[in-house]
Amino acid sequence: MLNNKKQRIDADKRIPSPKAKELFHDIRRRHEIGKNDLLALSGLTVSTLTRVLDELVGVGVISESGLGVSTGGRRPILYQVQADYGYAFGLDISRVMSRLVLLDLAGTKLDSREWRMDEKTTPEIFMQMVTEQVTEWIDKHRIAFEQIIGMGIGAVGPLNRITGVIEEPEWFAAPGWNHVPAVQMIEERLAFPVILDNGANTALIAESWANRTKDFRHMLYVHGGTGLRLSMMTDNKLIHGAVDMEGSFGQMIIQADGLPYRTAQGNFGALDTYASVHAIEREVNSRLRIGRSSALRQIVRPGEAAKFSDIMQALKQMDPLVTEVVTQAATYFGIGLANLLNILNPEKVVLGGPLMTENNLFFYTATQTAIRKTYHYPKYQVIFSKGTYGEEAIAIGAAQLMLSQLTV
């Protein structure tokens, strides 16, 4: 019964014809657009364009929003997405903080919620919390079941997008996060469509949406946190490898005879070992143990290890030890980033995660290092950004991924 219901929702929510899908995509990427502009963008004849627009208005996904400015003749009709036609949830499943957002069809965020992932947050408990929050929002925003397009999930990898399973992620505080059928668990509880991708990919979807009027052809997203996560996009399309490649950037070898990885599966001398939250914590605590002076001795209780939040507090005080360690980690990160730039030549790179958002030192040190080591500089210049959506990028992109199913 559930599968039949899910298939019915999918069929009802999708836009019928290829031309209508392309036109809807053009309209959705703009707040408002005139018929004349659509005529130039689409290459359709006036009669075909009129017919397809009428089809989209009839379905209910767009509406006429008024008249534009005249350029000498009749004022053009303006069109916009009908925001309340449908809604999508976006779920970010991460190791430290997870988030849920609700978007309407126009991409406007209507609500958000976050949870700290502690030792008690097993998959079963977490999925139940998500289910309860979704149910509460459906009532709060008076959303009819037929208006729900579905939920996108952006999760820590490795994962299998096709089967909807989070496979063997590392460093969750709670047990049970291996081989989690995330899509199945949500669909069984809520009875609407769910899709899964890695969180770096969904974050890049969100940032691409934020830059949709600027026509960047090649973009990268790198998330710096507990681990390092990477995604790539060309011509607004995600690049998927033969296997989930979210963690591949962190396994880039930058020192062949370097330190061992923190688990047996990783490479010696991997970038993650030198330029992650874990790397900074390890190095700071190592220096404290050999007697280095630091403001951390007043922040952290005697006998306890300094955590990343403590280290960031000391960094705000311009503590020399912490500044030295963070600068060193950011320099390593910048070397890894330069390797990506020299191979992939993206136009824009968005850097997200706590390493980038907690303090400007890491971001600026890493980007300046990368620029200095880019092969074709200054002829080739890349744009670096911390992004538009901050820590909500993964969840917002997951919801956008679900909304895009209307044109699949």
Same domain, 250 and 180: no
Q: Which of 29-33, 118-122, 222-226 has the highest mean pLDDT?
A: 118-122
Query: Is residue 368, in this structure, part of any structural domain at all?
Result: yes
Is 332 inside any structural domain? yes
Over 90: is that where the pLDDT of 243 sits?
no
Question: What is the CB neighbour count within 10 angstroms for residue 302?
Answer: 5
What pLDDT does 263 receive? 84
Residue 40 structure tokens: 């130039």
Kindly state the average pLDDT of the residues 119-139.
98
Q: Is residue 10 in some structural domain?
A: no
Average pLDDT over residues 118-122: 97
Which of 28, 46, 81 is the endpoint of a domain? Answer: 81
Q: Please give the pLDDT value at position 408.
A: 67
- Residue 3 placed within a domain: no
Are 250 and 363 in the same domain? yes
Which tens digit of pLDDT belongs to each residue from 361-398? 999 999 999 999 988 878 888 999 998 998 999 999 99
Q: With respect to residue 327, please indicate whether it lies within any of the assigned structural domains.
A: yes
Same domain, 227 and 373: yes
Single pTM value for the model: 0.89
Q: Looking at the structure, tell me whether residues 40 and 163 fall in a common domain.
A: no
pLDDT of 71 reads 66
pLDDT of residue 357 exceeding 70:
yes
| Average pLDDT along the chain | 91
In a domain, 125, yes or no: yes
Q: Tell me: the pLDDT tens digits for 130-179?
A: 999 999 999 999 999 999 999 999 999 899 999 999 999 988 999 999 99
How many folded domains does the chain comprise? Answer: 3
- Please check whether residues 308 and 362 belong to one and the same domain: yes
The secondary structure element, H or E, covering residue 20 is helix 18-28
Residues 41 and 153 in one domain: no
Residues in the chain, overall count:
408
Lowest mean pLDDT among 2-11, 103-112, 380-389: 2-11
User: Is the alpha carbon torsion for 390, 391, 396, 397 positive or negative?
Assistant: positive
Q: Is 8 part of any domain?
A: no
184: domain CATH number? 3.30.420.40
Give the pLDDT score at 6: 47
Do 201 and 276 lie in one domain? The reply is no
Structural domain span for residue 22: 15-81
112 vs 301: CA distance, rounded Å: 34
- Domain end, chosen from 51, 81, 111, is at 81
Confidence band for 247, pLDDT divided at 50, 70 and 90? confident
One domain for residues 306 and 184: no
Q: Does pLDDT of 9 surpass 70? A: no
pLDDT over 60 (residue 185): yes
Q: How far is CA 324 from CA 224, 225, 272, 330, 365, in A?
A: 18, 19, 18, 10, 11
113 and 145, same domain (yes or no): yes
Same domain, 277 and 360: yes
Model pLDDT for residues 297-341, shown as the tens digit of each residue:
999 999 899 999 999 999 999 999 999 999 999 999 999 999 999
Return the structure tokens found at 138.
């459906």
Looking at the fold, whether 230 and 356 belong to one and the same domain comes out as: yes
Region 112-116: mean pLDDT is 97
Instruction: Tell me if 4 is assigned to some domain.
Output: no
Q: Contact 277/308 with Cβ under 8 angstroms?
A: yes
Cβ atoms of residues 38 and 79 within 8 Å: yes
Q: Which among 369, 360, 383 has a CA at the least distance from the CA of 337? A: 369
The residue among 81, 97, 115 that closes a domain is 81
Type of residue found at 74: R
Position 123 pLDDT exceeds 50: yes
- Residue 310's alpha-carbon distances to 284, 286, 290, 316, 354, in angstroms, are 11, 15, 19, 10, 13
Query: 363 and 350: one domain?
Result: yes
Summarize pLDDT for 53-93 with one digit per residue, the tens. 998 998 899 998 878 776 666 788 899 999 999 999 999 99
CATH code of residue 71: 1.10.10.10
Q: What is the pLDDT of residue 216?
A: 87
Q: Provide the percentage of residues in the chain whose pLDDT is more than 70.
A: 95
